[in-house]
Amino acid sequence: MKYNGFHHIGLVVNDAEKSLDFYTQGLGGKEIFNFPMSNSGKTIYLVDMGNNAVIEIIPRGNLEE
């Protein structure tokens, strides 16, 4: 079986906004979509890194941290 790469990988992070800045401003990715994380008040981000590779940034926990 031939490996053809991946479409996206999900990363659980402590600070979603800081991670978004790293992958967009630091590494040149492009935010392509975001959506609320349930009723937590936090946001999940999808960042296109090129070559059909997407990083999904998932905030850790909820507002009761």
Predicted pLDDT at 62: 60
Predicted pLDDT at 32: 97
Q: Which residues are within 8 A (CB) of 37 and not within 5 positions of it... i.e. 6 or more apart? A: 43, 44, 58, 59
Structural domain contains residue 3: no
Q: Which domain holds residue 38?
A: 8-44+53-59
Predicted pLDDT at 19: 97
Structural domain contains residue 1: no
Which tens digits make up the pLDDT trace of 13-60?
A: 999 999 999 999 999 999 999 999 888 889 999 999 998 899 999 999
Structural domain contains residue 64: no
Structural domain contains residue 65: no
Structural domain contains residue 2: no
Structural domain contains residue 26: yes
Predicted pLDDT at 3: 74
Query: How many structural domains compose the chain?
Result: 1
